[in-house]
Structure 1
């Protein structure tokens, strides 16, 4: 289970590295609830892809996302809470996210995601 959950963030990193918003968003559920670092609420995988396409075409073009998972807490066999710290280089941004991941018939996906910039970080 844990390896499959880690693989979600590896896929995010890979999509980000090539600036592919669809690939980045592929780990999220079709009906994901996603809160950005600016507090914007995005509903659905397509909204996440659109938002990241704008980022990859603009301020985060040619950047690299590196994610470090610090917690995978199973709530049931099919639901876990995940805490992850991500760095965006060379932008110098560090974020912290809390995600709810769920196991569906075809594998794990992120059902809810809340991302923020920790106090004192840029």
Structure 2
């Protein structure tokens, strides 16, 4: 289970949406950091490959760390993962470009598969308050 986030990071760094979602169940659900819900591996691939080809092209996921991986009952587990994203030309992620992911895993098809993923941005209270102030001025 704990190897899946590293494979996802490697696929992201290659810009390969098919490989990024390769460990997902066919009917998986993914909540991205903006709150959009993606349903099904094929939809996830179709939605993300154009993003990999444009908006985040050349970006890299770095500092990936599995904080815990635990089987909660036979055939069901969770993995908590944290990483940062750097855009082309950057050496280190900006403080606002760290994410935490909670993977819900199921043992099916003779392997661990991601059945649900929640991806959330890590924001300090100071950064969140700054964003609130900015939004209030618009």
| Aligned equivalent of 1:73 | 70
Compare 32-41 and 43-52 and name the one that shifted more.
43-52
Q: 2:23 is matched with which residue: 15, 20, 27?
A: 27
Task: Extract unaligned runs of 5+ from structure 1.
Answer: none
Which of these two proteins has the greater Rg computed from alpha carbons? 2
Count of matched residue positions in the alignment of Structure 1 and Structure 2: 118
Hey, what does 1:109 align to over in structure 2? 113
Distance in 2 between the 1:95 and 1:55 partners? 17
TM-score of the superposed pair, with normalisation by structure 1:
0.87
- The equivalent residue for 1:43 is 39
For residue 6 of structure 1, give the secondary structure of its aligned residue in structure 2: coil
Query: Which structure 2 residue ranges, 5 or more long, are not aligned?
Result: 129-138
Query: Which consecutive aligned stretches of 4+ in structure 1 deviate over 3 angstroms post-superposition?
Result: none
Contact 2:2 2:79 in 1 (8 A): no
Say if 2:2 and 2:69, in contact at 8 Å, map to a contact too: no
Deviation digits for residues 24-61 of structure 1, max 9, x if unmatched?
A: 11111100011000000000111211222122112211
Q: TM-score, normalised to structure 2's length?
A: 0.78
